[in-house]
Amino acid sequence: MKLNNQDIAKLGEIATLLEVSGYPKPGNVHRTQDFSDMFYEDFLISSTSIRENLELVANNASTYYPGMLNQINVGSCIYGCIRNTQNLVKTNTNLGISMLLIPMAAAFGAIKDEDTLFNFPHILKTILENSSTDDAICLIKAISLANAGGLDNKTSEYDVNNKDTIDDIRRNNINLYNLFEMSASYDKISYELINGLPVILKYGYPTYAKYMNDYSKNDVTLEIYLTILANVPDTLITRKYGDKVAQKVSKQASTILKNTKIASTDRLNQLKEFDTFLRNNKYNPGTTADFTAASLFVGLVDKYSQSGI
């Protein structure tokens, strides 16, 4: 692979910039729409704030994989992303993206010249399975620092709001993989990370590969987003409003996907109407946005893995 660790970090940053700029990305912040407490510029700042730790974790993985896996420090780099972001933006704009992109950057960094992207899911799982208790503790601290909503009382074990959680993690020798296993039943990002990236590799990346040469970056980003939302009910909507609402939103996305063509005027008009509906009801497919950024990351790395940048 002809990408160095700086290249990997650059492509990760670009992926997040393309995702947040997608217009009109229904129900989320984009270049012409803000939330009352989150602004487009906040997400631009957040995108630049993760690059340092994307490069750091890729460098660690290229240095320590496969011999010293507990030195890759995935958890510390997730925390670093949130710390750097919170110094500039006082709201949770990129916890989910950091939880996805940092382990992915580590896996990309660990890919050797003789490897291909087909090795990527296996490398990712190996890194997470061999993470340390310090990684798990850093993740808990990152979630707490980001003040992420919708995480209360999901499990009696290792609750971020329990003051004894860090001591319990250390005493029971819990690592990142263990934490993701425990939360996989209700959190799709956790499920994604320990199951070979099923959403990203089944829906997101193939959509990128199908359309990247024929359509604009914006149209491709929207197609990835809509395809994921149509097929995978959003975790954030489920947490806030329940399964039925999340499934209804996914059905609406599926209808638009089936009845309109990419980059068409009909598609644009229906996306705008869908955006208005979601905003009026405060339905925010935030996890879908995270998966979109991660899918773009895979697509960009694949695109430039042979030519370099």
Cα–Cα dist 55/47, whole Å? 13
pLDDT at 154: 52
Copy the structure tokens of residue 193: 């990370």
Count of domains observed in the chain = 1
Cα–Cα dist 269/297, whole Å? 28
Whether 13 and 58 have beta carbons less than 8 Å apart is answered as no
Query: Is 16 inside any structural domain?
Result: yes
Mean pLDDT value across residues 5-19: 98
Angle at CA 231, nearest 5°, toward 271 and 29? 40
pLDDT at 152: 47
Confidence bin at 114 (pLDDT 50/70/90) = low
Query: Is 186 inside any structural domain?
Result: yes
Query: Is 106 inside any structural domain?
Result: yes
Residues in the chain: 309
Mean pLDDT value across residues 182-208: 96
Whether 98 and 47 have beta carbons less than 8 Å apart is answered as no
| Contacts of residue 105, Cβ cutoff 8 Å, sequence gap at least 6 | 8, 9, 12, 54, 55, 57, 58, 61, 297
pLDDT at 306: 79
Confidence bin at 58 (pLDDT 50/70/90) = very high
The sign of the CA dihedral 71, 59, 86, 217 is negative
Cα–Cα dist 170/161, whole Å? 16
Residue 30 φ/ψ, nearest 5 degrees: -145, -170
pLDDT at 113: 73
For the cut 90, the answer to whether the pLDDT of residue 2 exceeds it is no
Residue 149 φ/ψ, nearest 5 degrees: -85, 160
Residue 60: domain span: 5-304
Confidence bin at 117 (pLDDT 50/70/90) = confident
Cα–Cα dist 145/159, whole Å? 14
Query: Is 236 inside any structural domain?
Result: yes
Cα–Cα dist 187/24, whole Å? 26
Confidence bin at 309 (pLDDT 50/70/90) = confident
Query: Is 135 inside any structural domain?
Result: yes
Cα–Cα dist 253/101, whole Å? 25
DSSP 8-state secondary structure symbol assigned to residue 204: I
pLDDT tens string 288-297: 999 999 999 9
Q: What is the mean pLDDT of the chain?
A: 94
Longest dimension (CA), the chain: 58
pLDDT tens string 248-278: 999 999 999 999 999 999 999 999 999 999 9
pLDDT tens string 60-106: 999 999 999 999 999 999 999 999 999 999 899 999 999 999 999 99
- Residue whose token pair is 């490897």: 115
Query: Is 309 inside any structural domain?
Result: no
Query: Is 220 inside any structural domain?
Result: yes
Query: Is 206 inside any structural domain?
Result: yes
pLDDT tens string 137-179: 999 999 999 987 544 445 547 888 888 999 999 999 999 999 9
Copy the structure tokens of residue 216: 């604009």
The one-letter amino acid code at 87 reads: N
- Domain with residue 112: its CATH number is 1.10.4200.10
